[in-house]
């Protein structure tokens, strides 16, 4: 949730998109990855590999195309930022590929581009993650560049200041972006002073105070072998991969030195917050306490969420808000789970003078499903969609590696891919109704960002004023 992906590389989550800088050769290779393993093949080939040095990975050997995709994560993430300096992990993620060892930033990027290697880092709420993709024949150089990034980053002052300038520019843009403001305020309302309530990307006040010592301290505390989880899919044998993993990660500290993070329940609805911003379209973010990943009600909530506000054009919120009333172009809602809490969160944008009507329509539909639950037909259709969509969600080496890593982070069994559809099928109508009451029976935390109701019928000002809340 609200994760950051290294802006200088491809493959970003929705909050932080950026232009890829990879060579066209690698772009061509990405097209071939659609031929890689589907879950029907891969489920029987997932291995638990342990390297000679004791580093564990989930591994699928697939020689369909000469590519290797690796996803990995360390425990910690943005929760390990100092309380007075949010954004340290985010800044580390942007700097690890800005030179390492005896390679300065320019030389490091030239090496990546020459071999069509994709290397990226990200700081999410609970994990510091990395991604590495390469052609099979370039694996030695790719893993070596990753090793030096993790074990001997340079953090040159010129690079630090350049990245700081980029981050500050993004934060200034976010300060007048209604979606960014709504997301930040929602987390503040939901989690208060807990680390989840802080901005993972940092703030305009905190980023200027982050220094090289903070960056080095984060690397020292967080990047360690005891919290490392790895998933690899591609054209490499187990023996070779074991040696690569030892060479790459073997020099890291044995144990991380993480600041403990307490479990937290999101604030109890109903609550509402308003941020005035002079823009034509009002953004509405809504949600509340969710269901944690290993809760017995999780899968029922997951299936039910598809009915209320999931992907596709058949959700209740899409029907009520867009098709029936024409209030918004799109609306979605999702379950989000973290190591120490869980949420459901939705978002939409609407015309300023119809914001009240939009919020009312959302509230009404949430109350209706909480009171009545879904119909059997809705439940059956949601199950069918979720089972079928998994095939598309795992249809490339990169997607499969990402899924295998997430299953490890969620502490799921290695054969979860094989079991998932049966778990979905096992959800009954009574299960769904109970989950509906639990998720939505209390109402919503709602954050509205836009023009005040009395100003909504007036044209937007040419230059929007700065918001009065964040």
DSSP state of 9: S
Per the structure block, which two tokens stand in for 147? 């090793």
In this predicted structure, what is the pLDDT of residue 310? 87
Task: Express as a percent the part of the chain with pLDDT over 70.
Answer: 87
Question: Is the predicted pLDDT of residue 27 greater than 70, yes or no?
Answer: no
Per the structure block, which two tokens stand in for 72? 């990995």
**What is the fold, at CATH topology level, of the domain defined by 24-249?**
Cytochrome Bc1 Complex; Chain A, domain 1 (3.30.830)
Question: Is the predicted pLDDT of residue 462 greater than 80, yes or no?
Answer: no
Task: Express as a percent the part of the chain with pLDDT over 90.
Answer: 83
Confidence of residue 120 (pLDDT cuts 50, 70, 90): very high
Q: How far, in Å, CA of 332 to CA of 404, rounded? A: 25
Q: What is the pLDDT of residues 38-60, one digit of tens each?
A: 444 544 489 999 999 999 999 99
Answer yes or no: same fold for 24-249 and 271-455. yes
Q: What is the pLDDT of residues 204-249, one digit of tens each?
A: 999 999 999 999 999 999 999 999 999 999 999 999 999 999 999 9
Q: What is the pLDDT of residues 355-368, one digit of tens each?
A: 999 999 999 999 99
In this predicted structure, what is the pLDDT of residue 453? 66
**Taking the CA of residue 424 as centre, how many other CA atoms within 13 Å lie in the half-sphere pointing to its CB?**
23
Domain edges within the chain: 24-249, 271-455
Q: How far, in Å, CA of 195 to CA of 174, rounded? A: 20
Question: Is the predicted pLDDT of residue 28 greater than 50, yes or no?
Answer: no
- Cβ neighbour number for residue 339 with a 10 Å cutoff: 19
- Average pLDDT, whole number, for the chain? 88
Q: How far, in Å, CA of 208 to CA of 191, rounded? A: 25
Question: Is the predicted pLDDT of residue 160 greater than 80, yes or no?
Answer: yes
Confidence of residue 7 (pLDDT cuts 50, 70, 90): very low
Q: What is the pLDDT of residues 174-183, one digit of tens each?
A: 999 999 999 9
Q: What is the pLDDT of residues 286-342, one digit of tens each?
A: 999 999 999 999 999 999 999 999 877 789 999 999 999 999 999 999 999 999 999
In this predicted structure, what is the pLDDT of residue 40? 42
Alpha-carbon separation of residue 322 from 70, 306, 327, 354, 424 (angstroms): 40, 17, 5, 12, 28
Tell me the mean pLDDT in the region 64-76.
Answer: 96
CATH architecture, range 271-455: 2-Layer Sandwich (3.30)
Ramachandran assignment for 194, one of left (phi > 0), alpha (psi -120 to 50 degrees), beta (any other): beta
Question: Is the predicted pLDDT of residue 36 greater than 70, yes or no?
Answer: no
Confidence of residue 33 (pLDDT cuts 50, 70, 90): very low
In this predicted structure, what is the pLDDT of residue 454? 54
In this predicted structure, what is the pLDDT of residue 90? 98
Question: Is the predicted pLDDT of residue 455 greater than 90, yes or no?
Answer: no
Reported pTM: 0.86
Of 40, 43, 47, which is closest to residue 61 (Cα–Cα)? 47
Question: Is the predicted pLDDT of residue 416 greater than 60, yes or no?
Answer: yes
Of 33, 80, 423, which is closest to residue 221 (Cα–Cα)? 80
């Amino acid at each position: 949730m609200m994760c950051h992906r290294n802006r200088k590389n491809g493959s970003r989550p929705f909050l932080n998109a950026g232009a890829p800088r990879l060579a066209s050769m690698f772009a061509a290779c990405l097209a071939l990855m659609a031929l890689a393993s589907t879950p029907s093949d891969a489920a029987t080939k997932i291995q638990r590999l342990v390297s000679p040095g004791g580093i564990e990975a989930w591994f699928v050997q697939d020689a369909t195309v000469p590519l290797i995709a690796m996803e990995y994560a360390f425990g910690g993430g943005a929760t390990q930022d100092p309380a007075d300096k949010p954004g340290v992990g985010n800044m580390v993620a942007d700097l690890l590929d800005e030179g390492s060892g005896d390679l300065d930033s320019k030389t490091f990027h030239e090496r990546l581009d020459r071999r069509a290697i994709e290397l990226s880092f990200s700081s999410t709420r609970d994990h510091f993650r990395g991604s590495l993709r390469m052609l099979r024949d370039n694996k030695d150089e790719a893993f070596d560049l990753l090793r030096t990034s993790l074990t001997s980053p340079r953090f040159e002052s010129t690079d630090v200041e350049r990245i700081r300038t980029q981050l500050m520019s993004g934060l200034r843009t976010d300060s007048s972006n209604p979606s960014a403001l709504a997301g930040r305020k929602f987390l503040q309302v939901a989690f208060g002073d807990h680390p989840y309530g802080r901005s993972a990307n940092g703030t305009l006040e905190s980023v200027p105070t982050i220094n090289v010592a903070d960056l080095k301290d984060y690397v020292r505390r967080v990047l360690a072998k005891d919290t490392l989880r790895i998933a690899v899919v591609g054209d490499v044998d187990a023996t070779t991969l074991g040696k690569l993993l030892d060479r790459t990660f073997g020099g890291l500290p044995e144990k991380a030195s993480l600041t403990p993070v307490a479990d937290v329940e999101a604030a109890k609805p109903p609550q509402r917050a308003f941020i005035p911003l002079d823009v034509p379209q009002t953004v509405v973010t809504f949600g509340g306490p969710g269901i944690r990943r290993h809760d017995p009600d999780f899968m029922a909530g997951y299936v039910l969420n598809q009915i209320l506000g999931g992907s596709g054009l058949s959700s209740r919120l899409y029907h009520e808000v867009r098709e029936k009333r024409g209030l918004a172009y799109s609306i979605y809602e999702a379950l989000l789970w973290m190591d120490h809490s869980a949420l459901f969160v939705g978002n939409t944008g609407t015309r300023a003078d119809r914001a009240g009507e939009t919020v009312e329509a959302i509230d009404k539909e949430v109350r209706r499903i909480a009171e009545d639950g879904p119909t059997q037909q809705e439940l059956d259709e949601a199950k069918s969609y979720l089972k079928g969509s998994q095939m598309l969600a795992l249809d490339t080496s990169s997607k499969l590696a990402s899924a295998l890593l997430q299953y490890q982070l969620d502490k799921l069994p290695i054969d979860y891919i094989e079991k998932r559809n049966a778990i979905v099928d096992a959800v009954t109508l009574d299960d769904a109704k109970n989950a509906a009451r639990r998720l939505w029976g209390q109402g919503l935390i709602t954050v509205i960002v836009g023009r005040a109701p009395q100003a909504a019928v007036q044209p937007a000002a040419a230059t929007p004023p700065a918001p009065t809340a964040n």
